[in-house]
Structure 1
């Protein structure tokens, strides 16, 4: 899918020119406050200069977000649901039991047994995209990258001691390089925000019921449902990391659209999917859920057993962050920095 031009994307995202969102941003060079229109700042950041000193307001795509803390882009729902999860009776004991008895060994063994490990001699092109995403987020450690044969467009991460990212081959059929970098940044965001431990627990619970026996069944309802709820909210944090890694809103939104509708040969031969109606679809859904408590409840019930939220919900939250959150503040160099960065 060829990405829309800046003008087309701006018209799609912000059709009402009288209601274009505006941000006040502080120049990192001279401290002057600048009033900028969000569409121009998001889609053409290189054209935004300080009105006082004339310096660039935003970091270039090649400049890393030096020592950025995951707290700088953490979604509030991620933070609150994780706190609720940790407060559940028995959950800390479950984590200790799982990690001491199974840990990451079973998942890593499965990867080494059934997938291809990528490196300088094996799929260096994919490793390069991971390195670019890692550079953009200034993520200190280098996770092991695996490629798994699957028709599904997906990627997953796990681990704390030896973090790993698994890319499903179907993903490469659907996405261009910038979109793949957004996905890899998304997975690095999970690791950066220290989701690895709890996502590993979720993967072990989902795939190791035979190993867990009655313990897994005992935990099946309250803890598993709470874990799924947190995982859905953690995706919102990771989506932000993906955008920060690629710094291309059309690519990040394009990933979500393709996850919703696919990008198979049969689709490409018949039509060209466009972001404009897809974004409008997400905005319509947001208004519908806001105006009807029943629709909001229904959406919650429909995703109760899922590890990922609805695609349109993710689009809505990502756009809200871009328009009204601190996305542009981060790109202008104003963000919370890690106090004790981990060595690579």
Structure 2
């Protein structure tokens, strides 16, 4: 997923047109409904924030979990390359000044609902459980009214990070799938992606505004930044898998965000989507297909959903994943 940008038409980050991506998060809308509403026995209104999953009496816990235990090799490689760019941190700090920080923070606080033990407690519990599993402090969590299914993380200037989830995403996903989304966002924080994601978006956008050399700087950085962002997303899909422990749950999220809606969600088939992913690999195996695939991917800040589905399916079968799961223990929730 991604980070937030300033609520201005001049600060709209590029992204994949679907999930775990960035979609103008500061655009409130009355067209998305929050969960589902029903009357309770006392004549009041009860809010259900997501579709129910079978209840679980225990949660996953690692005695010790380092980010490099599950970091994708491409994430490691591209992070090292990104750190070699001269002046990147300095430019990022300049772009993420105090005014930008205040706008971003106040915009979310002022137009979203802060989740807590006393406010949307089920979502709060999902976040706390996911954070405990990944051995990270739980960030603040906000729910924001939007018709675009999305979630994103913001972390700047050493402030406490926060995660924002759109109401339409909550409507679309089951409880377990929503936990996978939260775990994905926590993966960004666990791997120190939060600030880097914010810097990457602002750097790419802000560099164009530098007179004379801005366009040249942005063009040189954009491809490398987007390559890093795509690799970071693969890492965070792994974080989601570590928490929910079921690759079909993570793949189902990707599938629903690629082509799902609440009325069709229960008819979607994960196995068929994986077969679609394999067919994409076959279709892009020719020289022309390879060229088209690379041209298509370079324009996106997130990997194609079918490729992410295949990646998470393969990692769930790997010895690295199995070894990590052997280190995990169950605790009563």
Q: TM-score range by the shorter chain?
A: 0.7 to 0.9
- The residue aligned with 1:307 is 301
Shift in alpha-carbon separation, 1:329–1:219, aligned structure 2, 3 A: same
Cα deviation, residue 157, structure 1: 0.7
Q: Distance in 2 between matches of 1:108 and 1:306?
A: 26
Unmatched 5+ stretches in structure 1? 1-59, 335-344
Q: Distance in 2 between matches of 1:157 and 1:138?
A: 17
- The residue aligned with 2:128 is 131
Question: Which runs of 4 or more aligned residues in structure 1 lie more than 6 Å from their structure 2 counterparts after TM superposition?
Answer: 206-210
Q: Distance in 1 between matches of 2:124 and 2:75?
A: 28
Shift in alpha-carbon separation, 1:199–1:104, aligned structure 2, 3 A: farther
- The residue aligned with 1:163 is 161
Secondary structure at the aligned position of 2:303 is classed as coil
- Number of equivalenced pairs: 269
Q: Distance in 1 between matches of 2:140 and 2:175?
A: 19
Secondary structure at the aligned position of 1:150 is classed as coil
- The residue aligned with 1:329 is 323
Contact 1:81 1:233 in 2 (8 A): yes
Cα deviation, residue 102, structure 1: 5.3
Structure-to-structure mapping, 1:1-344, within 5 angstroms: 62-100=59-97, 104-139=101-136, 141-160=137-156, 161=158, 162-205=160-203, 214=211, 217=215, 219-265=217-263, 267=264, 272-289=267-284, 291-333=285-327
* Greater displacement, 296-305 / 277-286: 296-305
Q: Distance in 1 between matches of 2:240 and 2:327?
A: 17
* Greater displacement, 236-245 / 196-205: 196-205
Contact 1:286 1:316 in 2 (8 A): no
Cα deviation, residue 328, structure 1: 0.9
Cα deviation, residue 171, structure 1: 0.6
Contact 1:205 1:216 in 2 (8 A): no
Contact 2:115 2:141 in 1 (8 A): yes
Question: Which structure has the larger Rg?
Answer: 1
Cα deviation, residue 101, structure 1: 5.3
Secondary structure at the aligned position of 2:165 is classed as strand
Q: Spell out, residue by residue over 1:37-63, the C-alpha distance to the aligned partner (whole angstroms, 9 max, x if none).
A: xxxxxxxxxxxxxxxxxxxxxxx9623
User: Structure 2-normalised TM-score?
Assistant: 0.73
Q: Distance in 1 between matches of 2:104 and 2:268?
A: 36
Which structure carries more helix by proportion? Answer: 1
Cα deviation, residue 97, structure 1: 2.1
Secondary structure at the aligned position of 1:157 is classed as strand
Secondary structure at the aligned position of 2:152 is classed as strand
Q: Distance in 2 between matches of 1:169 and 1:216?
A: 37
* Greater displacement, 180-189 / 219-228: 219-228
